[in-house]
Amino acid sequence: MKLSAHEIEHRQAAFLELLRDKGLKVTQQRLVIFRAMQESHGHLTAEQVHDAVQADNPSLSLSTVYATLETLVQIGALAEITMDDGRKLFDRTTSAHHHFVDLDSGTVSDLEDSEAIRLDLKALARKGYVIEKARVTVYGRARRH
Ligand SMILES: [Zn+2]
């Protein structure tokens, strides 16, 4: 899902504040990479982020992009997910959410709240566990006509 220009500006302002809170410098590469994530469909590999910023920032290497993404994950500006096929994706949505994978295109999207899966985790609670994270991935294909 694409974000509106207004939403992207809002997120960027919050990101600048987060960098300052964490005592990190506001660098061009951090801004460019954060923005590329917000302007994307939401879930990208480091290579895809690198491709997205190449045209305007030819000096940004893949290893710099990767290191910057990892920093942004550490401060909570992005999330990181590993798919069953081994792909490591960076996710611009950091709150707990579930995913849908289109098996034909490999595209990963967030399941909206209305479609969210309600998990009944009482059995685990009874066993004495405190749930920290529950993430479901749904796989499917577009119906053929
Ligand atoms: Zn997601």
pLDDT of 9 above 70? yes
Which long-range contacts does 84-88 make (Cβ < 8 Å, 24+ apart)?
A: 84/137, 87/45, 88/45, 88/46
Identify the residue whose tokens are 């964490």.
22
DSSP state, residue 99: E
Structure-token pair, residue 8: 């992207």
Least confident of 64-68, 78-82, 112-116, 129-133: 112-116
In tens, the pLDDT along 15-39 reads 999 999 999 999 999 999 999 999 9
Supply the pLDDT for residue 144.
Answer: 83
Q: How far is the CA of 109 from the centre of ligand 1 (A)?
A: 6
Q: How far is the CA of 99 from the centre of ligand 1 (A)?
A: 6
Beta bridge mates, 90 = 44, 80
In tens, the pLDDT along 62-91 reads 999 999 999 999 999 999 999 988 999 999
- Is the domain spanning 5-91 CATH 1.10.10.10? The answer is yes
Q: Give the percent of the chain with pLDDT over 90.
A: 72
C-alpha–C-alpha distance, residues 90 and 138, integer Å: 18
Q: Does the reported pTM lie above 0.75?
A: yes
> In which residue ranges of the chain is CATH 1.10.10.10 found?
5-91
Beta bridge mates, 17 = none
In tens, the pLDDT along 83-108 reads 988 999 999 999 888 899 999 998 99
Q: How far is the CA of 112 from the centre of ligand 1 (A)?
A: 10
Q: How far is the CA of 22 from the centre of ligand 1 (A)?
A: 24
Beta bridge mates, 99 = 110, 137
Summarize the confidence of residues 31-50 as an average pLDDT. 96
